[in-house]
Amino acid sequence: MVLALKTSGIRPAAPTFEEIFRDSEEAAASLDCEAPVLCFSPATLAAQAKQFIDGFSGEVAYAVKANPCPKVITVLAQAGVDVFDVASTMEMEAIARICPGAELHYHNPVKSRSEIATAWHAFGCRRFAADSHEEISKIAQTVGSSIGVEIAIRFCLPSQKASAHDFSSKFGADENTAAELMKRAAQCGFAPVLTFHPGSQCTDPQAWVRHIETAGRIAEAAGITLTRLNVGGGFPACYSGSSGPGLATYFRAIDDSVSAVFGDNPPALECEPGRSIAAPAFSLLTSVKLVRARSADLFLNDGIYGGLLEVTQVSDLLPFYRVLRNGQVVSTTDQHAFTVFGPTCDPLDVLPVPLLLPSDIRETDVIEFAGIGAYGMATATNFNGYGSVSQVTVKNAYTGDNNC
Ligand SMILES: Cc1ncc(COP(=O)(O)O)c(C=O)c1O
């Protein structure tokens, strides 16, 4: 046994997925949960990837930043993903180790010259994103006018107000600049393509439609036939305060608008989801360290410096959650709003919204958070000496809401 079961009292640090349980209830019943436990369902991950591969009419790249865990990459590669959106050379290394033949899209629009050179020479990367003349110059000066290099011009629209994270304040050229950049990339000897990101956890399919219409105008203004269009990530996962209408609705909106804009000569499509693929495959078991009954304060063994950072950025991204006691779901209408603190000594380590929990919640009860697979593990820190998690495999993931 690698993990500490309830009786052993010894828990080695951060074991990784060797233990297999039917579901998180069984895991919670068997483990001591002294450290938070990540429950990973490879089947759920593969099913999410398959939804994209079968339903999206183009190439599906996985945005590694959402969850770079080697197990995740391995399952996705087995499910048929062989293109990866990478943001750094570290991510390239992670992919090269697991799937050496994979195609890499270096879609971080800002890269140092050294990163560009490493991507080009060490990892054979032939796709670079840019949203400025300066970045195109850096790429041209680093790789020369090499045949077969594609520059993905990243454009943006003003905030669509439909996403949890709006990227347009940081990345993306406006429509006119994007047309100039396409021409500039072509003059440098590169193949120009277009890319956009409507914002992470974007719930409105029309946001994609507006971007695709803009892509049509940009290519026309540049006088360049668009051969490839990357419609980004941004597809939503399910949170208690935010979810979308289902992936098929997004895919239909994208197909319809590409037909309307490009007619008989459509660009080849690509997407690069992270959140929507990775989120539902993991849940997080956190255990209650203390309940201060009088003030309705509750302390967990994980918090915003661990797997729950995103809740502090956008409270709509509060995951679905439930309480387990001895592996059984506690369902009661006798609930109370608790202020939930994480384990560190930092007063900022508190969830921004109270959680409705059973009034009799007690030490060692487990609060399970669903859909923690994207940007939860990836952004967790070891602040204050916390952050170590146990990782187990489950056959069925707790996703919080069967309708999602
Ligand atoms: C260039 C790029 N592509 C794809 C993604 C993945 O986005 P999401 O996780 O919202 O699907 C991101 C997220 O930051 C990104 O920057």
Q: How do residues 72-98 score in pLDDT, each as one tens digit?
A: 999 999 999 999 999 999 999 999 999
Q: Dump pLDDT digits (tens) for 220-263.
A: 999 999 999 999 999 999 999 888 899 999 999 999 999 999 99
Q: Dump pLDDT digits (tens) for 286-308.
A: 999 999 999 999 999 999 999 99
The answer to whether residues 134 and 173 touch, using CB atoms and an 8 Å cutoff, is no
> From ligand 1's centre to the CA of 46, what distance in Å?
19
> From ligand 1's centre to the CA of 191, what distance in Å?
22
| pLDDT value at 5 more than 60 | no
- 198 and 325, same domain (yes or no): no
- 78 and 150, same domain (yes or no): yes
Per-residue model confidence (pLDDT) at position 254: 98
Span 268-275, average pLDDT: 98
> From ligand 1's centre to the CA of 64, what distance in Å?
9
Residues of the domain holding 150: 42-278
Question: At a CB cut-off of 8 Å and minimum separation 6, what does 378 contact?
Answer: 65, 66, 67, 68
- 383 and 338, same domain (yes or no): yes
CATH assignment of the domain containing 253? 3.20.20.10
CATH assignment of the domain containing 364? 2.40.37.10
The answer to whether residues 31 and 47 touch, using CB atoms and an 8 Å cutoff, is no
> From ligand 1's centre to the CA of 145, what distance in Å?
28
173 or 7, which is more confident: 173
Per-residue model confidence (pLDDT) at position 144: 87
Q: Which atom number of ligand 1 is nearest to the Cα of residue 276?
A: 11
User: Is the pTM above the cut of 0.75?
Assistant: yes
Per-residue model confidence (pLDDT) at position 7: 43
The last residue of one of the domains, among 278, 307, 335, is 278
The last residue of one of the domains, among 278, 297, 331, is 278
Mean pLDDT, all residues of the chain: 93
First to last CA, the chain: 34
User: 391 by DSSP, 3-state: which?
Assistant: strand
| DSSP assignment string, 116-161 | HHHHHHTT---EEEESSHHHHHHHHHHH-S-TT-EEEEEB--S--S
Span 354-366, average pLDDT: 97
Per-residue model confidence (pLDDT) at position 335: 97
- 32 and 48, same domain (yes or no): no
Per-residue model confidence (pLDDT) at position 159: 80
Q: Dump pLDDT digits (tens) for 206-228.
A: 999 999 999 999 999 999 999 99
> From ligand 1's centre to the CA of 297, what distance in Å?
35
The last residue of one of the domains, among 248, 278, 308, is 278
Spatial separation of the C-alpha atoms in residues 308 and 374, rounded to whole Å:
11
Q: Dump pLDDT digits (tens) for 32-77.
A: 899 999 999 999 999 999 999 999 999 999 999 999 999 999 999 9
Task: Supply the DSSP symbol for 98.
Answer: H
Residue nearest to ligand 1 atom 4, measured at CA: 233
* Residue 244 CB–ligand 1 contact under 6 Å: no
From 135, 197, 235, 379, give the residue whose CB has the most ligand 1 atoms within 8 Å, as the site to mutate. 197
Span 339-364, average pLDDT: 97
| pLDDT value at 12 more than 60 | no
What percentage of residues in the chain have a pLDDT greater than 70?
95
Spatial separation of the C-alpha atoms in residues 156 and 137, rounded to whole Å:
20
Per-residue model confidence (pLDDT) at position 6: 52
Residue nearest to ligand 1 atom 7, measured at CA: 233
From 107, 111, 155, 200, give the residue whose CB has the most ligand 1 atoms within 8 Å, as the site to mutate. 200
> From ligand 1's centre to the CA of 170, what distance in Å?
13
Phi, psi at residue 204, to the nearest 5°?
-105, 110
Tokens representing residue 301 in the block: 């063994």
Is residue 2 one of the residues assigned to a domain? no
Q: Which atom number of ligand 1 is nearest to the Cα of residue 375?
A: 9
193 or 10, which is more confident: 193
